[in-house]
Structure 1
Amino acid sequence: MSHELPPGPALLTPPAQLPWFRRLAARLLGRGLTRLQAQHRDSWFLGHATGQRTGHADGVREGFEQGRIEGFDAGRQVLVIRDTRPEHASVPGEDDKLFDDWRLPLTAELKKRFKADVAQRLPAEQQPSAAQWKLIFSDTPSTCVVAGAGAGKSTSLVLRILLLRHYLGFELDAMTVVTFTRESRKDFIKRLMQVFALWQINLPAAGARELVRTFHSRILPLVRSLPGFGQLRAFETLGNDMPAGGEADADTNPFDLRLNDAQRQQLNLCYRDVLADSPRFAELIATLRRDALQLKPLDPDHPDVQKRVQVTQLAAQRDEELCDVIEDLWFAAGAWPIKGIEPCRETVEIRGSRFHVQGRLEGLDAWVVLGFDPSESAQYQRPGAKLAVRAEWAVKRTLFQAFCDKPLIWLDNYASAKRLAASLAGDAVAGPGFEYKVKGELAPAPLLDAFVAAAGFIENLGLEVNRAVAAMSFPPGDSDALFFEALALYWKALEAHLLAQSPPVMSYNRMFALFGENNPENLKLLPDPLLRPLAHLMIDEFQDVSPQIVSWLRASLAEIRRRGPAMHVGRNAQHASLLCVGDDWQSIYGWRGSSPKYFMEFTKAFPSPANTRVMLVENYRSQQQVIDAAEHLVKGAPAIPGKKAKASGPAAQLPGSPVKVFDRDEAALGQTLVEHYQRGETVMMLFRKGSDKLLISEHIKSVVNVDSSLPPDQRRLRQLTYHSAKGLQADAVFMLGDCQYLTSSPYKNQVYRLAGLGRPGDAQAFDTAQKEEVQRLAYVAVTRAVSHCYWHVEPASGEQAKLPRASSQVDGRQAFFEDLRGV
């Protein structure tokens, strides 16, 4: 459409100009006519025509331009109205990924060359499977490898490191391989050096140890780089003889809760100071001591009471003599008398019969009775008595628990009595001097040990102790409320006390928290060389990682990405990557604060532009029936879908033999174990409790004597707990004891929910997780077996029969089980 102006009126010829004289006369005449308001007709028409012509042209031009502009604006307004975009200003989206969008530079030619080299240098039985090659060649920033028992993951990881270092030129100081246990680290380092040697690569032992680490040895140098912390010691390594700085290479066990004398000394010194400085803490300790020392009541209808109440009168008749015998034992042990306890032989009436006490605790108005120390011979008897002193003492204790209505302190052993004596004497450096049992724990522990265990669990979940305690709640009158109030006061003081030492001391949990997601500013203080080893992480046993560790890993990876290319200038290893290997069926450290959640929800925990998942379903260790039986035991536990292992390699050629399940019989178990050992097989004896090891030892003594006389590399017998056996194997495995969750933990349920673990709406989230974990523990034990597995379980009885047991999953109708219970 044309935008030209419309045509105007016809143009008129302008008049000729007059001579000057006539112009002057016309001007004078015109002025006169103007004053008279006279009009000249021809002049009017001439002026009107000229004005119309000019006005019309100017008006049309101005109207056209103005109209065109207004029309364009009107059209533009219609477009805006019809646009579907939001009216608010656009903002770039936030990238929450922990990795850049990059890929490992693996060409088809390089893969072909590496495969050819592996085929040439490694024996046939060590050649990777298709799934293992997928792990080795994963080129995405994050990789999750689901590797069941016996999946051959170690060789795959070693080849992955070889690929990165030798074929892509990645610097070793840009990588870290993380293992959880001392044995697995040692084995991996040995394997790594062997494979590198096949490629004529000299990897010194020191370099291998620097590459293969524990989480703890990686965090310590980070903290030591901060001003004032250059000589920092880890609380967990106090008392260990090692050179300065040696902790960075130490093989620490993250699941070892035992305290040594050096650690106790620091705990006790802090306790002394808090007791003196905090009246509320002193009040709490006094209340906890009274409650902890008092003998716990027993229901008169309890079977033990009903059995022993029948001999009440007989027990009372021999009681004074029994008191004499026990006092003599205590006196000989140097544990009696005790300062702060007034010796006396007062009597207490039980169901019409009179029994004796040995003293009164000053200040608490409570009777004191001395017990029979476990270190004394269980066969020790009074002259002429039919029962052992231990049995007589047990009868008296049961009667007091059921029928004594007065405050009563029963001192069970010499050691606890000596700790109490030191505490009563005002020696606070000796510690509180009494034990406390947190609800849900299986046994009481010295109070400060109980503090350390509870605080460690809370911190492993990524929580701060004081804030977690403030968020907890307990029923009125529950002594655990006092325990956790005291813990909050003590733990804050302990952290300050440890930092005040020279050199300063800090727990590993606090180190991880310093560089976790809640403290990203601390990571910014680290120089590139300290952060660089975390750039390319390969983590084994990832199902046992804790929320605290996950937070540190995420924060570290985010900081590496934030620093960008400047961190990698002049280096072949660029960006960052994470490869995690694990098996959710082998997650067995939930009682310590670990959770398989982060492995099962890997892509959510570690968001990445691209992720690779690898399923290693080949089992190169066990024959198929062992595999099938083990997987049947965990079928009721939540798991990553699609897992079904298959015996592969030499294991596929082994003859099948079902897992045999028996009623518990230590003698029969021992006999079968001896038979397998005499055949020249490797044998593993697994037990649930330390006391079980003592019970079985007399039945396998001949094997123990022979095996212990051999050089270490020729020994074929291992005795381990179910937990410590993970990662190991034997031709024949013997399991003594069921896997059962025997308790419920109110405080752990609370902090589990605070940490965001468990299913929504589950008030007993930790208990639920533990019920699932007992199944996984049995799976771990069974999958240690190459050819044979024998499981002896105690029959369910009483209240324990109602609790979850792994053996309830045994199905004798299945070919892979032979259920011989009750036969």
Structure 2
Amino acid sequence: MRSAQLTSDMLLERAKALWHEARADRFARAVWLLTEAYSSKLNEAQCIDFEGMIGNATKLIENGHYSSPFKLILIDEFQDISEPRANLIKALRSQRPFTKVFAVGDDWQSIYRFAGSDITLFTQFAQHFGSCWIGKLQQTYRCNQLIAEVAANFVQRNPGQMSKDVQSLRPKIPRSIRVIPVKVEWEKPSMESACQQLLNRLNGFAARIATKWQSETKPKLSVLVLSRYNIQNPYRSGSSEFSHIEVRSMTFHRSKGLEADYTVLLDVSEGNFGVPSRIEDDELLQLVIPSPETFPHAEERRLFYVAITRASRGVYLLTNQSKPSRYINELKQIGGEEVSLETLDGHPLQECPACTKGFLVSRVGKGGNTFEGCSEYPTCQYTASN
């Protein structure tokens, strides 16, 4: 509210557009009182906060109290730009003829709408800033070519994203995207146990091939354990120590900009806390943040893209075998056999040819005979004898 220089009347007008208008009106009035009190305290203390700097600076430029000396404006991480910050840039630019704006960013990694980021300022740059030249940086130094290809195809299923052909300096590592179904039991730390077992496996693997990678500057391989929310992460207060791997854990959001040899994505499943998350923002946020995109789960798709592209060597997706995320099926469609289905011990699992969501497991029939059936039973009743 402060950076955008919103007034009480502007808030109340926006409240009329929300579904629960009466609730939004009361909330807007209450928040306005808080905003006034907060601003008053800042003035009394002769202090300023960051959002105030943005709004006040824009106002000083627009009313002529500040004259810009800048002919070239360079902006990094432009995919995170918000309307108030864009207004500051426009104000600076309008003061001097022929001022150039050079912006660098990646719309595939725009994941901060909750903080005011407006992706349309990036994807519709010319409409906001005038005619422009677009140069595409299509080389990645982080993930290997297989992960880069699959992830790029995945995020571009949203036609609203800008198209790019990403090439990696790291060669393709076959089957470096691995899906591991986990049997989740009520009130038992299923994902935590599965993750610990997988980390033990990774540590053993790193030890066996240590001569190929270990050096004085790299005593351990790095592993990121990532989850959609902190509440899902069993290692948020600290992880186990391993001889050949160094483990850090965090949310998908916090992993942006980081890199590891391997990543483990926890609970890539359907559900409120799953992927994509079903927890919707309260509509009251529409009073101050950009309107949501029309493509379903657009920002969740970009967030998942960020998570799977943190790994250079390989990414492991732990999923509830009873309700795997819809994104896993998409990855399998894109990557084919290069997206492997396996057990925690690394043994291959066969995908169900009927539903392509489940995998074949050994079952015992009424007569005591064993047969292969789909893990999605009774939703899918495929058996190997069909």
TM-score, length-normalised on structure 2?
Answer: 0.70
Give the Å deviation of 1:770: 7.7
Which residue among 690, 696, 701 is the counterpart of 2:240? 701
Give the Å deviation of 1:616: 1.6
- The structure carrying a bigger helix percent of its residues is 1
* Equivalent-residue separation in structure 2 for 1:588 and 1:602 (angstroms): 18
3-state DSSP of counterpart to 1:818: strand
Which residue among 1, 23, 26 is the counterpart of 1:482? 26
Once the two structures are superposed, what CA deviation does each residue of 1:678-734 show, in whole Å capped at 9, x if it has no partner?
514221111222222336879x5233xx69xxxxxxx84322221111111111111
The match for 1:746 is: 283
* Equivalent-residue separation in structure 1 for 2:283 and 2:179 (angstroms): 34
Matches within 5 A, 1:354-365: none
Task: Answer whether contact 2:236 2:250 (CA < 8 A) is retained.
Answer: no
| Structure 1 unaligned spans of 5+ | 1-454, 562-574, 708-714, 758-764
Which residue among 106, 126, 129 is the counterpart of 1:603? 126
The match for 1:500 is: 44
* Equivalent-residue separation in structure 1 for 2:256 and 2:235 (angstroms): 23
The answer to whether structure 1 residue 513 and structure 2 residue 78 are counterparts is: no
* Equivalent-residue separation in structure 2 for 1:637 and 1:644 (angstroms): 15
The match for 1:630 is: 151
The answer to whether structure 1 residue 672 and structure 2 residue 198 are counterparts is: yes
Q: 1:785 to 1:750 in 2, by over 3 A?
A: same
Task: Answer whether contact 1:656 1:787 (CA < 8 A) is retained.
Answer: no
3-state DSSP of counterpart to 2:133: strand
Q: Which amino acid aligns with 2:280?
A: T
Give the Å deviation of 1:676: 2.9
Q: 1:794 to 1:550 in 2, by over 3 A?
A: farther
Q: 1:696 to 1:578 in 2, by over 3 A?
A: closer
The match for 1:692 is: 232
The answer to whether structure 1 residue 642 and structure 2 residue 163 are counterparts is: yes
Which residue among 285, 292, 311 is the counterpart of 1:785? 311
* Equivalent-residue separation in structure 1 for 2:7 and 2:175 (angstroms): 50
* Equivalent-residue separation in structure 1 for 2:232 and 2:47 (angstroms): 38
Which residue among 51, 54, 76 is the counterpart of 1:540? 76
Q: Which amino acid aligns with 2:29?
A: E
Q: Which amino acid aligns with 1:702?
A: E
Comparing 668-677 with 578-587, which one deviates more in the overlay? Answer: 668-677
Which residue among 192, 217, 221 is the counterpart of 1:681? 221
The match for 2:12 is: 470
Matches within 5 A, 1:203-242: none
Which residue among 241, 244, 247 is the counterpart of 1:717? 247
The answer to whether structure 1 residue 584 and structure 2 residue 110 are counterparts is: no
Which residue among 250, 258, 264 is the counterpart of 1:734? 264
Q: 1:647 to 1:484 in 2, by over 3 A?
A: same
The answer to whether structure 1 residue 772 and structure 2 residue 273 are counterparts is: no
Matches within 5 A, 1:287-366: none
Q: 1:620 to 1:722 in 2, by over 3 A?
A: same
Give the Å deviation of 1:640: 4.5
The match for 2:85 is: 549
* Equivalent-residue separation in structure 1 for 2:137 and 2:306 (angstroms): 17
Give the Å deviation of 1:463: 5.5
Give the Å deviation of 1:542: 0.7
Give the Å deviation of 1:545: 0.9
* Equivalent-residue separation in structure 2 for 1:541 and 1:769 (angstroms): 23
* Equivalent-residue separation in structure 2 for 1:735 and 1:478 (angstroms): 41
Task: Answer whether contact 2:256 2:306 (CA < 8 A) is retained.
Answer: yes
3-state DSSP of counterpart to 2:65: coil
Q: 1:770 to 1:557 in 2, by over 3 A?
A: farther
Q: Which amino acid aligns with 2:92?
A: S
Q: 1:822 to 1:627 in 2, by over 3 A?
A: same
* Equivalent-residue separation in structure 1 for 2:130 and 2:9 (angstroms): 28
Q: 1:668 to 1:796 in 2, by over 3 A?
A: closer
3-state DSSP of counterpart to 1:786: strand
Q: 1:818 to 1:805 in 2, by over 3 A?
A: same
Give the Å deviation of 1:582: 1.0
* Equivalent-residue separation in structure 2 for 1:822 and 1:465 (angstroms): 53
Once the two structures are superposed, what CA deviation does each residue of 1:753-773 show, in whole Å capped at 9, x if it has no partner?
xxxx5xxxxxxx427478200
Q: 1:694 to 1:672 in 2, by over 3 A?
A: closer
* Equivalent-residue separation in structure 2 for 1:480 and 1:790 (angstroms): 43
Q: Which amino acid aligns with 2:254?
A: S
The match for 1:560 is: 96
The total of aligned residue pairs comes to 313
RMSD between aligned alpha carbons? 3.2
Q: Which amino acid aligns with 1:787?
A: R
The answer to whether structure 1 residue 661 and structure 2 residue 179 are counterparts is: yes
Give the Å deviation of 1:677: 4.0
Larger Rg: 1
* Equivalent-residue separation in structure 2 for 1:770 and 1:507 (angstroms): 35
Give the Å deviation of 1:745: 3.0
Give the Å deviation of 1:587: 0.4
Task: Answer whether contact 1:584 1:639 (CA < 8 A) is retained.
Answer: no
* Equivalent-residue separation in structure 2 for 1:560 and 1:719 (angstroms): 47
* Equivalent-residue separation in structure 2 for 1:475 and 1:642 (angstroms): 35
3-state DSSP of counterpart to 2:104: strand
The match for 1:328 is: none
Q: Which amino acid aligns with 1:736?
A: L
Q: 1:696 to 1:487 in 2, by over 3 A?
A: closer
* Equivalent-residue separation in structure 1 for 2:32 and 2:134 (angstroms): 42
Matches within 5 A, 1:352-391: none
3-state DSSP of counterpart to 2:221: coil
Q: 1:482 to 1:805 in 2, by over 3 A?
A: farther
| Structure 2 unaligned spans of 5+ | 183-190, 207-219, 268-274, 343-356, 360-386
Which residue among 133, 137, 142 is the counterpart of 1:612? 133
* Equivalent-residue separation in structure 2 for 1:750 and 1:795 (angstroms): 39
TM-score, length-normalised on structure 1?
Answer: 0.35
Task: Answer whether contact 1:661 1:793 (CA < 8 A) is retained.
Answer: yes
* Equivalent-residue separation in structure 1 for 2:222 and 2:198 (angstroms): 13
The match for 1:357 is: none
